[in-house]
Amino acid sequence: MIIVMNPRCSAEHTDNVVALLDRMGLAGWVIEGASQKVIEVLGGNGDIDRGALECAPMVDRILDRADPILAATREPGDQTKAVPLGANATMGGQKLGIIAGPCAVEDRERLLEIAHAAKEAGAAALRGGAYKPRTSPYSFQGHAEKGLEWLAEAREQTGLAIVTEVMRCEHVERVAQYADVLQVGSRNMHHTHLLATVGKQSKPVLLKRGWCSTIDEFLSAAEYIMLGGNRNVMLCERGIRTHETYVRNTLALALVPELKRRSTLPVVVDPSHGTGKDYLVPPMSNAAIACGADGLLVEIHTAPDRAWSDGCQSLDLKEFASLMEGLKPIANACGRTL
Amino acid sequence: MIIVMNPRCSAEHTDNVVALLDRMGLAGWVIEGASQKVIEVLGGNGDIDRGALECAPMVDRILDRADPILAATREPGDQTKAVPLGANATMGGQKLGIIAGPCAVEDRERLLEIAHAAKEAGAAALRGGAYKPRTSPYSFQGHAEKGLEWLAEAREQTGLAIVTEVMRCEHVERVAQYADVLQVGSRNMHHTHLLATVGKQSKPVLLKRGWCSTIDEFLSAAEYIMLGGNRNVMLCERGIRTHETYVRNTLALALVPELKRRSTLPVVVDPSHGTGKDYLVPPMSNAAIACGADGLLVEIHTAPDRAWSDGCQSLDLKEFASLMEGLKPIANACGRTL
Amino acid sequence: MIIVMNPRCSAEHTDNVVALLDRMGLAGWVIEGASQKVIEVLGGNGDIDRGALECAPMVDRILDRADPILAATREPGDQTKAVPLGANATMGGQKLGIIAGPCAVEDRERLLEIAHAAKEAGAAALRGGAYKPRTSPYSFQGHAEKGLEWLAEAREQTGLAIVTEVMRCEHVERVAQYADVLQVGSRNMHHTHLLATVGKQSKPVLLKRGWCSTIDEFLSAAEYIMLGGNRNVMLCERGIRTHETYVRNTLALALVPELKRRSTLPVVVDPSHGTGKDYLVPPMSNAAIACGADGLLVEIHTAPDRAWSDGCQSLDLKEFASLMEGLKPIANACGRTL
Amino acid sequence: MIIVMNPRCSAEHTDNVVALLDRMGLAGWVIEGASQKVIEVLGGNGDIDRGALECAPMVDRILDRADPILAATREPGDQTKAVPLGANATMGGQKLGIIAGPCAVEDRERLLEIAHAAKEAGAAALRGGAYKPRTSPYSFQGHAEKGLEWLAEAREQTGLAIVTEVMRCEHVERVAQYADVLQVGSRNMHHTHLLATVGKQSKPVLLKRGWCSTIDEFLSAAEYIMLGGNRNVMLCERGIRTHETYVRNTLALALVPELKRRSTLPVVVDPSHGTGKDYLVPPMSNAAIACGADGLLVEIHTAPDRAWSDGCQSLDLKEFASLMEGLKPIANACGRTL
């Protein structure tokens, strides 16, 4: 059970509720976010005097669910929030937000060549990993700060926004200096301290769904971020792990309309990780837009067969241009522009 | 290991290969289909004299896979096969094939009302279960022959093709008298004798993927049908069972382009079972067409909240008309018509 | 909603309830089993006059669940039902029931050799497929009646009970002539007509769980059998399909105590299909017994590496003897005998 | 491709191999662990001059797998490593290691009562969360340092080893001051920086498998820890997420013998999270030991129905004593002691 306090309540008010709980033989756990004050009720087994709590000063409402979604809930008539994608674009508006780039930042020249091609084809942002989460400790872990510098140079040359992953709390500040959007990857969707840390700075966050997470866990992860005060969150579906083996992951596109129904946050789809096969990226990009996605996150590379990671799911630069060309009529049919 | 014989080979030729295998200490299992003759090699552990087998008369080729797909394989340049959907339509051509109707045939008047509305909105076929596969023996199992008669009457009145499920081998002949397309449901995708039986009659078959089947198992099930001589098979994706709980099933749309890449059979998507939620049917219908599906199978009902089964995933007649309206621009963007 | 009628009610009583429903604007679907009479209520949306129905003559109770389990429900103090395993053994008693044999009956000599070894090692029954469900139509489908004859001969020589799969309704009678226990395989757990058919004959049935079925679906399948009058059902867990790839299936052993908690039917575990790896069969056999299984279904073969199917999960005869030896202390620790 | 260098090689030797790769148009990524030196080859597409690399000085071997397991691989004849569980016990020896305690440390008195009961019943270690990973930011996140102090007091009074979770890198040092074993939870199995951090300190680590992780990912996570020099790792299976809903997770016990076959690390099973139901904990504890687990991690509480988290899967103190009593004969049957 959760007691939602009025955001303007004082410490005295929350103390009062905790004391009330104490007299009932219960404990209260106080959570103070940038604009939320909430008290979790602990130790009960159902027989709680709800009326007394509801009448306490500054108590707004009592919720039975253990994991409520309080921020960014969509009410009837609400619009999707347009989250900035650098200075010149947004994710969640009428224009689709296309983010493209290599899995990992490999070297400066290759990155710049990719950036220019992405820009040319109509992308709004460049993605590229300077810090790479890898299953094995013996795999390339990214060029770190050097990679960030190259990304910043690519932005200067092309005007593309920079989207890059941050994996460690102590890197957040540094990555935020270079990037326009901080990506929290699938492996870190449950890394609550990282979520809280990116929630306390001001750069928008692209949050990827864990590959075995429920929609409630996904929205709760977004809640961790927003609790810190940062409301600029984009949600990204990137496929779940199932019994299927012809794909790397099963892209669960019904999540897109479901997320948009429950929340005002914009929704992005990653058809590259979501399928693991280059030839499935274009049809699934079309499908993602057709069911309401606000944008795409696509892996592209100058020479996918020589990529340091994820080559088989990356498009080459020509294929990406052709993907963008093919998306146009679908986007228009959905009342969106590219 | 599989030895594919020349289709024109005689019993003597297959006997010869079996004798050859016998001399190698192996056994041979002969399969004779309408146009395929194949010998499975049994009992070996890898150390087989392949050369001797390859040189035997009328041996076409030897395959190492245990479950090869021999019929309806797509070769470069192949077109999707257009399978008849009654007298006036096809599934797999430039025009999308839309099949709509109630989960179960409940009564005559309701069925006729649904049929007229489906026709009006642009559907090519009416679906409705006269025989219902149900998890519990205490659930409604369908009106049987009476249901078939009502379906035939609906066809007479509207010109719609009739798609209905057959669950038992001994019903195939009877159902084929009334229906234009025989549906084999998800629960029966592995019911090989039913597959073989519908493969030996001439009405087209709509084969639904088992909810936990792999793509290879799905194509092997189609192979069981085609082995009997019936090449008019439509493949239907209807969602898989995963850890997700906000949907009844996870609609695995990447299967659509993958099936079309491997096979020439047309592919249908069932967004009703594929999500289990009425409000997810329109966006997922759009997505299905956008990634290349040739048609849809949609549950509709005059009053979904009073439907005898699957009410929460059924559209009412007005919602269906609106779904069809919304599909048009997407269809056109994909170079298809509705 | 389900109305459970008193088993002694007449047609007049059920007609009366159906008429009552009709007057409420609802429909009633009557199911008459060997000892159950049940009416499913159709067409409502929640606003039903429950009191009127509860007062109707011969109405026992009204259940809200759509898929109730009525037969073999375990009440406090109930014992597990001991189901006959041939003339000399049972499944579900204090002595564990061990069923062993090859995946497929391949030839007479091999089968007899396996049967003698199984007997020697302490098995109570011989399993072997005369009819084989196979994913591909190009795979060996079993020796059919000849296989049944060899099985019967093995019983004569060893006294072992015979467990063999039946896949088609029209084979039930014939298989029941030879076998002591009819096996319904995983692929056929949802083949409701087959379930009903084996429910109307008297030989015990070993029902395997579908590889993606829920516990409710599994118990409902058993209910289909028992509705026909046959209460001699054994439930068999054989693994489910998950994201795991180092095993063929994920053996979900917690199902064993859960099934035993809900039902009085005996529970068997198949560690061969449940893992797909010979070396995992002994530890998982131990685990199955330790969590309460009443018996095992184990694949054994004279030469697993030359087996016609499932070789990599079969034990050779020596390994099986050693498995049985190793099981003894575990069985004793659990208060069971071998 | 991975080049495993001789551990005694100098920087000159690795530089030499990287230069060699550079001349082939490839890149080399050098990983230096406490006792491993490895170079990942990047940028190739298969056409690599392997011979030249194999002949380079101090190259030990070349592996094709991207994610090799180099530490704690089990070779024929190897024993399971006995990892210290405090001063008086080990995990992985002949005596089973039982770890019991509450999900979260709630208050001092309750913790001490639980600790004494655990000790009495035969546990070797006390578990309890001072830092709690929670899906929702509005759930109790643990008493932090105060919780650690209470745990230390419980150790003083009982002699039990303390196992507690660490979630943040900057907490590792502090938690290691209080705890005997650091637990890395399921949500953090992919938190590679945390893995590396606990790998560079000397307290043993209990690593829980991610709920949707493969065995290779699990062993790779252990490799991240061991690469830092800490070889005292225990692996813990705690269930995976599947389609099953009657349990919180599907306990995949076949992982136990598979892990023990591949690695020398001891294996622990958590039947509490692995089932989510108190009544399934005793049978699954038995099963875990029967298939070779070296120990258990069990949630216990003075009053499960008033627990602040995970109450429905916690045993009360009496049930735990009874679980331990019941385990004895199974342990003995497996040649283990309790």
Can you tell me the mean pLDDT for D86-93?
Answer: 96
Which residue of B33, B42, B133 is in closest CB contact with C192?
Answer: B133
ipTM of the predicted structure? 0.95
Residue B91, both tokens: 């599934």
Residue C252 to residues A44, B24, B118, B213, D241: CA-CA distances in angstroms?
Answer: 33, 41, 45, 19, 12
Residue D114 binned pLDDT confidence (cut-offs 50, 70, 90): very high
Residue A13: CB atoms within 10 Å? 18
Residue B45 above 80 pLDDT? no
Lowest mean pLDDT segment, chosen from A307-311, C8-12, C176-180, C291-295: A307-311
The residue in chain A having the minimum alpha-carbon distance to the alpha carbon of residue B281 is A254
- pLDDT value at position C269? 98
Give me the DSSP letters along D131-161.
S---SSTTS----THHHHHHHHHHHHHH--E
Residue C11 binned pLDDT confidence (cut-offs 50, 70, 90): very high
- pLDDT value at position C64? 85
- pLDDT value at position C36? 87
Residue where the block lists tokens 């430039």: B94
Can you tell me the mean pLDDT for A157-161?
Answer: 98
Cβ atoms A223, C225 nearer than 8 A:
no
Among residues of chain C, what percentage have pLDDT more than 90?
Answer: 89
Among residues of chain D, what percentage have pLDDT more than 90?
Answer: 89
Can you tell me the mean pLDDT for C38-66?
Answer: 87
The burial of B267, by beta-carbon neighbours within 10 Å (0-12 exposed, 13-18 middle, 19 or more buried), is given as: buried
Rounded CA separation A204/A191 (Å)? 17
Residue A236 to residues A183, A266, A298, D211: CA-CA distances in angstroms?
Answer: 10, 9, 12, 21
D258 Cα to chain C: minimum distance (Å): 7
Pair type for strands C83-84 and D37-42: unpaired
Q: Please indicate if any CB of chain C lies within 8 Å of the CB of A243.
A: yes
Residue where the block lists tokens 């290991």: B1
Residue B290 above 70 pLDDT? yes
List Cβ neighbours of C137 (8 Å cut-off, separation of 6 or more).
B31, B33, B192, B196, B220, B223, B224, B227
Q: Please indicate if any CB of chain B lies within 8 Å of the CB of A258.
A: yes
- pLDDT value at position D66? 66
- pLDDT value at position A46? 66
pLDDT in tens, D130-183: 999 998 998 999 999 999 999 999 999 999 999 999 999 999 999 999 999 999
Lowest mean pLDDT segment, chosen from A42-56, A121-135, B306-320: A42-56
- pLDDT value at position C66? 66
- pLDDT value at position D46? 66
Rounded CA separation A113/A106 (Å)? 12
CB contact under 8 Å between A243 and C245, yes or no, is: no
Residue A220, both tokens: 């709760």
Q: Please indicate if any CB of chain A lies within 8 Å of the CB of B286.
A: yes
Amino acid letter, residue C68: P
Residue C47 above 80 pLDDT? no
Residue A266 binned pLDDT confidence (cut-offs 50, 70, 90): very high
For residue B275, list chain A residues with Cβ-Cβ distance below 8 A.
254
- pLDDT value at position A69? 82
For residue D40, list chain A residues with Cβ-Cβ distance below 8 A.
138-140
Cβ atoms D271, D296 nearer than 8 A:
yes
- pLDDT value at position A66? 67
- pLDDT value at position B66? 66
CB contact under 8 Å between D283 and C292, yes or no, is: yes
- pLDDT value at position A246? 94
| Triad D34, D36, D38: Cα angle to 5° | 135
CB contact under 8 Å between C137 and B224, yes or no, is: yes
C162 Cα to chain D: minimum distance (Å): 29
Residue B301 to residues B128, B273, B305: CA-CA distances in angstroms?
Answer: 10, 14, 9
- pLDDT value at position B69? 82
- pLDDT value at position D128? 97
Q: Please indicate if any CB of chain A lies within 8 Å of the CB of C245.
A: yes
For residue A283, list chain B residues with Cβ-Cβ distance below 8 A.
254, 256-257, 290-292
Residues 158-217 in D contacting A (C-alpha not used; CB under 8 Å)? 167-170, 187-188, 190-193, 196, 210-212, 216-217
- pLDDT value at position D44? 76
Q: Which of D209, D251, D253 to mutate to test the interface with C (most CBs of C within 10 A)?
A: D253
Can you tell me the mean pLDDT for B307-326?
Answer: 95
Residue A44 binned pLDDT confidence (cut-offs 50, 70, 90): confident
For residue D212, list chain A residues with Cβ-Cβ distance below 8 A.
210-212, 241
CA D188 to chain centre: 11
pLDDT in tens, A16-42: 999 999 999 999 999 999 888 999 999
- For chain B, the maximum distance between any two Cα atoms, rounded to a whole number of angstroms, is 69
Rounded CA separation B229/A295 (Å)? 46
Q: In what order do the strands lie in the sheet with D37-42?
A: D27-32, D37-42, D2-5, D59-63
Residues 313-332 in A contacting B (C-alpha not used; CB under 8 Å)? 329-330, 332
Residue B44 above 80 pLDDT? no
- pLDDT value at position B65? 74
- pLDDT value at position A43? 87
Q: Give me the residues paired with residue B184 across strands.
A: B207
pLDDT in tens, C93-122: 999 999 999 999 999 999 999 999 999 999
Which residue of C137, C138, C306 is in closest CB contact with B44?
Answer: C306
Residue A238 binned pLDDT confidence (cut-offs 50, 70, 90): very high
Can you tell me the mean pLDDT for B212-228?
Answer: 95
Q: Please indicate if any CB of chain B lies within 8 Å of the CB of A280.
A: yes
Can you tell me the mean pLDDT for B265-289?
Answer: 98
Residue A119, both tokens: 């820009």
Lowest mean pLDDT segment, chosen from A67-81, B250-264, C259-273, D315-329: A67-81
Kindly report the backbone phi and psi dihedral angles of residue A284, in degrees, each rounded to the nearest multiple of 5, phi listed first.
Answer: -75, -25
Cβ atoms C267, C91 nearer than 8 A:
no
Q: Please indicate if any CB of chain D lies within 8 Å of the CB of C147.
A: no
- pLDDT value at position C71? 86
- Which chains, if any, share at least 3 CB pairs under 8 A with chain B? A, C, D
For residue A305, list chain D residues with Cβ-Cβ distance below 8 A.
45
Residue A72 above 90 pLDDT? no
Residue C142 above 90 pLDDT? yes
Can you tell me the mean pLDDT for A198-203?
Answer: 98
Nearest Cα residue to B19 out of B7, B8, B30, B9: B30
For residue A212, list chain C residues with Cβ-Cβ distance below 8 A.
243
Residue where the block lists tokens 């099973």: D269
For residue B230, list chain C residues with Cβ-Cβ distance below 8 A.
none
Which residue of B212, B241, B243 is in closest CB contact with D241?
Answer: B243
Q: Is C233 helix (H, G, I), strand (E, B) or coil?
A: strand
pLDDT in tens, C206-227: 999 999 999 999 999 999 999 9
Residue where the block lists tokens 């693991």: A276
Residue B270 above 70 pLDDT? yes
CB contact under 8 Å between D135 and A241, yes or no, is: no
What is the Cβ-side half-sphere exposure of residue B143, based on CA atoms within 13 angstroms?
19
Q: Is C220 helix (H, G, I), strand (E, B) or coil?
A: helix
Among residues of chain D, what percentage have pLDDT more than 70?
Answer: 99
Mean pLDDT of the residues in chain A: 95
Can you tell me the mean pLDDT for D251-261?
Answer: 98
- pLDDT value at position A311? 85
Q: Which of A214, A238, A244 to mutate to test the interface with B (most CBs of B within 10 A)?
A: A244
Lowest mean pLDDT segment, chosen from A58-67, A137-146, C138-147, C154-163: A58-67
Residue D45: CB atoms within 10 Å? 12
CB contact under 8 Å between C68 and B211, yes or no, is: no
Q: Which of B218, B240, B248, B258 to mutate to test the interface with A (most CBs of A within 10 A)?
A: B258
First to last CA, chain C: 45
Rounded CA separation A89/D317 (Å)? 59
pLDDT in tens, B87-141: 999 999 999 999 999 999 999 999 999 999 999 999 999 999 999 999 899 899 9
Nearest Cα residue to A151 out of A160, A138, A139, A142: A160
Residue B182, both tokens: 């025989």
Rounded CA separation C59/C54 (Å)? 6
Cβ atoms B72, B252 nearer than 8 A:
no
Helices D281-290, C281-290: crossing angle, 10 deg rounding: 150
Nearest Cα residue to A160 out of A131, A118, A202, A121: A118
Kindly report the backbone phi and psi dihedral angles of residue D29, in degrees, each rounded to the nearest multiple of 5, phi listed first.
Answer: -115, 115
Rounded CA separation C69/C61 (Å)? 13
Lowest mean pLDDT segment, chosen from A309-318, D96-105, D270-279: A309-318
Mean pLDDT of the residues in chain B: 95
Cβ atoms C149, C178 nearer than 8 A:
yes
